[in-house]
Structure 1
Amino acid sequence: MSAHCCHHPEKVVQNQLDMKYRRVLWIALAINAGMFLFEVVAGLAAGSVSLQADALDFLGDTANYGISLFVIGLALRYRALAALAKGATMGAFGLWVVGATIWHAMSGAVPHAITMGAVGIAALASNAAVFALLWAYRSGDSNMRSVWICSRNDVLGNLAVMLAALGVFGTGTGWPDVIVAAIMATLAIQGACAVIRHARSEFGQTDLNMRAGVGAAKPEPRGGFG
């Protein structure tokens, strides 16, 4: 029986890694879901497009963590497919922020700087905790990497929101808020491109593996003179 347990030590190690990663994702999902509800209300109350963008980002991350939990342990092809879906989601988020930013720039609305700063600090603390939890998985497959990229962008976005709050408070205009929202859109689109590129490369690798498997299963026929 002990020999049977030791036949595939690498599989045992992978299962242990998956269990740890699953626990981390559940914690990250709970934090992001709670922060989405908190920040979307605060963003609307403050009239801040950067806070609204950050709230939508929390919602997107919650969905991303849920997808990642679903595909843990599945074949690389399915994990790469999930990463492609998440990359498309990140890109869509970036485009939505671009539209919201243009609207706020044209309207000239001035957000509430104090609310922006307070919510930005709470969001930064939450995302910093998630970022620390996911640090060990930053170099995994495209699915793991996509989750880490989302977390990294969140921390940068929170820092930018706090700078925007200072800018709004100092200038009395909404332009710092608009500029930060545009930066967050750029981060989302760049992150989406990185995730999609990595996922496509994994798709290519699985195709090569499948072809190699077919070739091994059906060897070339020998010539009549052999």
Structure 2
Amino acid sequence: MSGCCDDSCSLDRLRERQRGTLQIVLGINAAMFLVIVAAAFYGNSSALLSDSLDNLGDALTYGLSLHAVSRERVVKAKVALFKGGLIFLAACTVAVQIAFKLIAPTVPLFEVMGSFSFLGLAANSLCLFLLWRHRRDDVNMSSVWECSRNDIASNLSVFVAAGAVWFTGSGWPDIVVASCLVLLLMRSALGVMAAAKAEMRAAS
């Protein structure tokens, strides 16, 4: 008699679905990081750089999550804790660039900001759609969902900032939006790390 109807087989099928989804979103975010980081430096935009680092953090996050799919609870919690640290590091990187911008103000290219933030929004919306059904699977997939949801807010914010830069002819909207994104990233990082620590305590 086949054992494919028991809990173990159901769990195996869930893990395979998780792996397939993570592989797709990993590829999307790795490609978007390369495209948007080049655009951020070309357009001299801190907000767009924050967006690109978000994609890099997500690519690393998805890679780690892929590794953790079939692991026990405590390993998933440790991976989630590490992912929280990566998000926090990305926030600190953008904060440093903002500090340089305050010392030597520049006006970014709003056309580049708007075009590539919209491209990022399309890519991240696809990732969010793919991850929707996994958002409550476990702490590993929940942290992945948290990262992807942040991406949508990030893309929309950069798009709005591009319009504000065009309207004002000033670089301040870029700095303001980048600062807000830093706060969002830090809040997300602390939330992911807190959930991971709680999971580790529960697992032990």
- When the two structures are aligned, how many residues end up with a matched partner? 204
Name which of 84, 95, 98 aligns with 2:95: 98
Matches for 1:126-141 after TM superposition, within 5 Å = 126-141=123-138
Give the Å deviation of 1:98.
Answer: 1.4
CA distance in 1, matches of 2:183, 2:132: 23
- 2:52 matched to which residue of 1? 55
Tell whether the 8 Å contact from 1:105 to 1:175 is kept in structure 2 after alignment: no
Which residue does the alignment assign to 1:34? Answer: 31
Aligned to 1:203: 200
* Structure 2 unmatched runs, 5+: none
Task: Give the equivalent residue in structure 2 for 1:86.
Answer: 83
Describe how 1:95-174 pairs up with structure 2 within 5 A.
95-174=92-171
After TM superposition, give the deviation of residue 135 of structure 1 in Å.
1.0
**CA distance in structure 1 between the partners assigned to 2:151 and 2:102 by the alignment:** 23
**Of the candidates 171, 175, 178, which is equivalent to residue 172 of structure 2?**
175
RMSD: 1.1
CA distances 1:1-49 after superposition (whole Å, capped 9, x unpaired): 33xx16x711111111111111111110110011011001111110101
Give per-residue Cα distances to partners, 1:85-137, cap 9 Å, x unaligned. Answer: 00111111111111111211221100000111001110000000001111112
Larger Rg belongs to: 1
C-alpha displacement of 1:53: 1.3
The structure 1 segments of at least 4 consecutive aligned residues displaced by more than 3 Å after TM superposition are none
Give the conservation status (yes or no) of the 8 Å contact 1:29–1:65: yes
Where relative contact order (Cα < 8 A, 6+ residues apart) is larger, the structure is 2
Per the normalisation by structure 2, the TM-score is 0.97
Number of the residue aligned with 2:41: 44
Structure 1 alignment gaps of length 5 or more = 208-226
Contact 1:61 1:150 (C-alpha < 8 Å) held by counterparts: yes
